[in-house]
Amino acid sequence: MSNSSEMNSKLNFRDFSLLLALVAICGFFGWMAPEFLGPRNLSNLMVELSLNATLAMGMLLIILPGHIDLSVGSGLALLGGIASVLTTKLGYPAPFGLSVGLIAGVLIWYAKSWLIVHERIPAFIVTLAGLLVYRGLFWLVINNETVPVVSGGQTNLYSLLSSYYLSPLTGYVLATLVTLALVASFWLSRKQTPDSETSFLKFFVGAQATFLFVIIANQHRGIPLPALIFGIVCLATYVLTQHTSMGRHLYAIGGNAEAALVSGIPVQRVVMTAFALMGGIVAITGFLLASYTGNSTTDLGEWMELDAVAACVIGGVSLRGGRGTVMGVLFGALIMACLINGMTLLSVSPEHKLIARGLILLAAVWMDMRANRS
């Protein structure tokens, strides 16, 4: 009982410290640049958060079983570039180009996982090689040119991924549906766990945050479509990790792969499935990023793999595997997005941005190592 209460206190302290850090960051940038808390910038922040957090959700699936993926930044550029070239240069319909990119992502990441689980090549080496190969292939695909996502200024599905906003009424309807889902989750968890006060607090905070999000979004143009897409990916990742046998297997493999194999868990199949899902998430992120920037250019997606890893580690995901939650990753991604957005508003130079992001990643890994030793 004492170990359980000690673990809960550590988790609660970490969650509380993340919340305090987020409030402090927002307060600092809000004071230094008042437009940081303006409706327009908050709407842009939602889109930027959606890009980073969507990729971080995929990274969570890879880190949980004890692996890592350093190729996602180059990979999302390649897949977004494939869709851009098919749509703009070759004139195929946007749904076709996006479908080809999505299928390619799933197949490439599944093939990459085969090298990891069957040939026993460390994921670090395989994905580091992928970082270089995908970036080179991306440059070949776009022919070292800037390829717009649309031609002749015409609107298509590709461009709408970042330019479409839900109406205010639709936003409130979605918020109501999410709140009803939280009520159902609270009711079910109350029957299964005795700690009903914690469950109610999570439900209450979640419902308030949902409606606050919609109110803020409606101050500008409504909920941006990338935020809705991220919400779907986030929900799917939560259900997968918390309410399916595959999710339990991911945690078990990360905790002790040999014990998981002895207990009958299909370790190879679970890891390969996680990588295939990551490929799909990388493709989705690539489409959103290319649509948001308006084109596929040579530096698309650079350093995003590090932001995804940082979001996971800041949110309490252990790099050794076996520990981490969707909510923690969301907090970590939100902290990273606020830092990058705030530094941009303050006109921080690119070199200082890189230094700050590197120091944040180092500090997050240091805290993770300290947590593992304690």
Tokens 């596929």 map to which residue? 296
Maximum Cα interatomic distance, the chain, rounded to a whole number of Å: 66
Q: Residue 191: what pLDDT?
A: 58
- The predicted structure's pLDDT at residue 286: 95
Angle between helices 225-243 and 267-293 (to 10 degrees): 170
Is 152 part of any domain? yes
Q: What angle do CA 342, 344, 346 make, to 5 degrees?
A: 70
Instruction: Specify the number of domains making up the chain.
Output: 1
pTM of the model: 0.89
| Burial environment of residue 370 by CB neighbours within 10 A (0 to 12, 13 to 18, 19 or more) | exposed
Name 76's Cβ contacts closer than 8 Å, sequence gap at least 6. 55, 282, 283, 285, 286, 289, 300, 301, 304
The backbone region for 224, taken as left when phi is positive above 0, alpha when psi lies in -120 to 50, beta otherwise, is beta
**42 within a domain of the structure (yes/no):** yes
Asked whether residue 287 is domain-assigned, the answer is: yes
Q: Identify whether 212 is part of a domain.
A: no
Q: Cβ–Cβ contacts within 10 Å for residue 95, how many?
A: 12
**Residue 243: its pLDDT value, please?**
86
User: What string of DSSP letters covers 132-178?
Assistant: HHHHHHHHHHHTTS-EESSSTT---HHHHHHH-B--HHHHHHHHHHH
Cα 306-102-141 angle, rounded to 5 deg: 75
> What CA–CA distance (Å, rounded) separates 214 from 170?
10
Domain of 94? 37-161+255-373
Dihedral, 48, 49, 50, 52 alpha carbons, nearest 10: 90
Q: Is residue 200 part of a domain?
A: no
Q: Is residue 268 part of a domain?
A: yes
The answer to whether 116 and 275 are in contact (CB under 8 A) is: yes
Query: How far apart are the C-alpha atoms of 364 and 358, rounded to whole Å?
Result: 10
Per-10-residue mean pLDDT of the chain, 374 residues long, equals 39 66 87 88 91 95 95 96 92 92 97 94 95 96 90 73 88 88 70 60 74 87 91 92 93 92 93 97 95 91 90 89 90 91 90 86 76 62
DSSP-assigned states of every residue in 209-277 = HHHHHHHHHHTTTS-BHHHHHHHHHHHHHHHHHHHSHHHHHHHHHHH-HHHHHHTT--HHHHHHHHHHH
- The answer to whether residue 167 is domain-embedded is no
In a domain, residue 349? The reply is yes
Q: What is the pLDDT of residue 240?
A: 94
